[in-house]
Amino acid sequence: MLVLVILGGYGLLAYLVLPGFWTHYEHQRGLADMPMVTRTGQGIPGDPMNVGLIGDLADVVCAMHAAGWYPADQITLKSSIEIVGSVLLDRPYKDAPVSNLYYLGRREDLAYEKPIGASADRRNHVRYWKVLESGEEKRPVWLGAATEDRGVGVSKYTAAVTHHISPDLDAERALLAADLENAGMVEAKYQVTGIGPTMRATMAAATFITPTAKSGCCGWSRPARSAKGPR
C-alpha cells in the first residue's frame, strides 16, 4: 500500500505539478508555440523576447511617448551618418536608428529608445512585434526585446561594427516597466517565467503590460516602423 502511495505521489508530481511550472504562457496561450528569440538578417540569433504589451497601436505609441522613450529613426544614409557622428563626436542623437532584427520572418514593427549618455553610444532600446491580433484579453498582443546598448564594438559573429548589449535583460525590462508605471500608463501587469536558454548570459522572463488608454496623450503620431502586424 505504501508503495502505491509513493508511486501515485511521484506520478502526480512528475507529470502534473512540475510541468505546470514550465508552462510559460498560461496568460497568453496563443504564444505557446512561438520562438522567443529574434534573428539578424543573416539568421544569427539576436535579442530574446523579454517584455509584452497588450493593446492596439495607439495604446502602445501613447504609452511609450508618455514614458519618455523616443521612436527610433528609420535607417537611411542621413541617419547612418548622424549616428556615426554622434558616437565619434559624443553628441546627442536621442532618436538614432536601431539595426533591424527579425521575428517570424519580419522586422520589428516599432522601435523605441531612451538615451543613457551624451551620445548614441549607450542607450536603452526596445523593439516590438505585433504577434497576435487578439489575445486572452481580446486585444492585440505585442512581444518586445528590451536591451541596453553599452557601447560600440565589433560583432564576434560577422566582424561588423555594432552595439554590444548588456547581459542583464531583467534590469532592462524592469527599467521599461518602471518608466511606464511612473508615467501612469499601466492598467495591469503580470509576469511569466523564463523563456529558456538564450545567447545571453541571463535567462529572460517576460513581463506583460496592459497600457492605460488615454485619449490625446500623444505629442506625436508617427509610428517608428510599419506596424503592419502579423501576416
pLDDT in tens, 142-185: 999 998 876 554 444 544 445 556 677 788 888 999 999 999 88
pLDDT digits (tens, 9 = 90+) for 75-85: 889 877 877 76
Higher pLDDT pick, 46 / 89 = 46
Average pLDDT over residues 133-149: 88
Report d(CA 205, CA 48) in Å as an integer.
10
Check residue 203 and give its pLDDT.
35
Check residue 221 and give its pLDDT.
39
Check residue 69 and give its pLDDT.
95
Lowest mean pLDDT among 4-8, 132-136, 202-206: 202-206
Which is nearest to 50 in space by CA: 166, 170, 130, 156? Answer: 170
Check residue 21 and give its pLDDT.
47
Query: What pTM did the predictor assign?
Result: 0.73
Asked if the model's pLDDT at residue 123 lies above 90, the reply is: no
Report d(CA 1, CA 112) in Å as an integer.
62
Q: What angle do CA 52, 65, 26 make, to 5 degrees?
A: 10
Higher pLDDT pick, 42 / 222 = 42
**pLDDT bucket at 15, cuts 50 / 70 / 90:** low
Report d(CA 32, CA 132) in Å as an integer.
12
